[in-house]
Amino acid sequence: MTATTAGHPPILRFDSQPDGGPPPILYTSGHDYAFRPTGGPPMLVLRRRPDVVRVLTDTRNFGMAGVTRTGGLLGCPLTGAEMQSPDGGLLNMNPPRLRSYRRRIAGLFTRRAAEATRPLARALARSLADALHGRATADALTGFAEPFTATAISAAMGTPLADWDRILEASRIAFAVVPGPDAIDDVAAAWDDLYGYYTRAAARRGGGLTSQLATALDGHTAAQVAHVTGTVSNGFGAMLPVLAVAITELAQQPNVIASCARGERTWASVAGELLRTRTIFPISLPRIALADTWLSGRHITQGATVLPSLIAAVHDGPASPSIPFGAGPHYCPGAALTRVWLCAALEAFFGTFPRARLAGDLDWQAGTLSVPREIALALR
């Protein structure tokens, strides 16, 4: 993160930090405002939990900042998620249209639906862990986290595993922080690639969520179905950095692994704590004030852009299991599935390798949720 001019708001960049954490501006008060790398007006960074929750839930006074009042896309997005098509791109929608879509697909993302995937996730994780048996060291990123994510998501979406690399690459570009104005065309192309892929996949009705979403959205256009499916697919991709960071953290906390082995703690509680504190994506998408209002005694004028810092909110008061997944109408529908998969993966990996410890330095990559380039572990 670098300042444009000394004393002026900095440009919010997600460069790698020494500890793999988020940019300091998201949880310290050195600056109240930050600019997007693509330009535009400054964003007020919200760090207090009540302010963050209100902005996420008060749809009368705050709306998604990625779409203009005339329905076009904002020309200076912070992330590629704000460049979704306004027609079916769930992350850019405001109620009541958003609710009409969410009601259609809600049944696919219940706790019961998530629990139904646990046996497959557990079997997959155990198979991958067993494949590392007999090795003194291994890279848990390429040997476990990446293949677990690829196989689990492909199975859930009903898409060929052979297509995963293409989907992942487009998703990385489409959801990442846009590094500057010159990258906007690349992000738009990535979305077009995803939409084209899922238009064809939905037409094949090959199974999984790709087909289930098409059925749930019967009556919508093929483009709208593809836009929703692309949103869901990209959301699944967040599982990879979440799992990678969780493994990295636990490899440095042998007491936690031992307490689970003794039955003093459950893997579900450990996964939940990691989701609340360390594997959290640090921001929600920017919001725009739809009317003059107040936040913590500060006057917010109509048209002002605010950035909810989830990482600051989770540490501002008692732990909350929901804030990492957002709040209000944009609450992440995949929350239950993320908890199930993370729990199953951690239990299988550290149940197989309870003595796994870091065997090298961590080189953190840039990203909204920074991930090591390699997770070298001594397995025994």
**pLDDT, tens only, 220-245:** 999 999 999 999 998 898 999 999 99
Residue 320: what pLDDT? 65
Residue 8: what pLDDT? 83
Local confidence band at 321 (pLDDT 50, 70, 90 cut-offs) = low
Question: Taking the alpha carbons of 343, 155, 328, 102 in that order, is the dihedral positive or negative?
Answer: negative
Residue 1: what pLDDT? 40
CA angle 256, 238, 122 (to 5 degrees): 55
> Which of these CATH numbers, 3.40.640.10, 3.20.20.10, 3.80.10.10, 1.10.630.10, describes 2-378?
1.10.630.10
Q: Can you name the residues that pair with 103 across neighbouring β-strands?
A: none
Examine the pLDDT at 303 and tell me if it is beyond 90. Answer: yes
- HSE at residue 289, side-chain half, CA atoms within 13 A, is 17
Local confidence band at 269 (pLDDT 50, 70, 90 cut-offs) = very high
- The token duo for 131 is 């494949």
| DSSP-derived secondary structure for 27-51 | TS-S-SEEEETTEEEEEEEE-SHHH
Please write the tens of the pLDDT for every residue from 54-75: 999 999 999 998 877 766 788 8
Please write the tens of the pLDDT for every residue from 171-198: 999 989 999 999 999 999 999 999 999 9
Query: What sections of 180-221 are H helices per DSSP?
Result: 184-204, 208-216
Please write the tens of the pLDDT for every residue from 136-149: 999 999 999 999 99
Residue 4: what pLDDT? 44
First to last CA, the chain: 39
CB-based burial, 31-55: b 16+ in 10 Å, e otherwise: bebbbbbbebebbbbbbebebbbbb
Residue 29: what pLDDT? 74
3-state helix/strand/coil string of 254-304: HHHHHHHHCCCCCHHHHHHHHHHHCCCCCECCCEEECCCEEECCEEECCCC
Packing angle of the helix pair 239-250, 146-157 (nearest 10 deg): 150
What gap in Å lies between CA 21 and CA 30, rounded to an integer? 17
Domain positions in the chain:
2-378
Would you say 226 and 198 are in contact if contact means Cβ atoms under 8 Å apart?
Answer: yes
Average model confidence (pLDDT) for the chain?
92
Residue 5: what pLDDT? 47
Look at residues 78, 71, 92, 82 and name the one whose alpha carbon lies nearest to residue 35: 78
Beta-carbon count within 10 A of 312 CB: 23
